[in-house]
Structure 1
């Protein structure tokens, strides 16, 4: 299953401080096959991560360990995502 984590920035200073650890966390999970995609919003107000996990609880655990979240730099909203195969029919 896929889970989308919305990560709005709530503290710019903390975000700058913890960004390297945040990126390392995401890269490590990508190498483990636990992240499908990630990136910032173009307005500079946060970003998102698409996790690959067997359960919501697993995805939540991965997302809550993100240094951007644990530091209080960003909030976390996690939702299950029903990825569709393209092209769409019907």
Structure 2
């Protein structure tokens, strides 16, 4: 069983290693069996990562591009003024 602390250490290593890559949309911790693993979200296929780093399972997931959306206030909500 992989501990949460071990998964956090590997996540931090991957964040540092993958920083600045446009195809990486997120790196997070996921449940894996009775323990934890790391998931790397990608905008497109093509990146290869090892199946494990320091014994922690690594999973990639293609989620497509991330696009910011405009948020509008819901009608009927409390509209507070300053």
Same fold (TM over 0.5): no
Give the TM interval when normalised to the shorter protein. 0.3 to 0.5
Query: What TM-score results when the alignment is normalised by the length of structure 2?
Result: 0.42
Which structure has the greater CA radius of gyration? 2
TM-score (norm 1): 0.40
Q: Which has the higher contact order (CA 8 A, sep 6+)?
A: 1
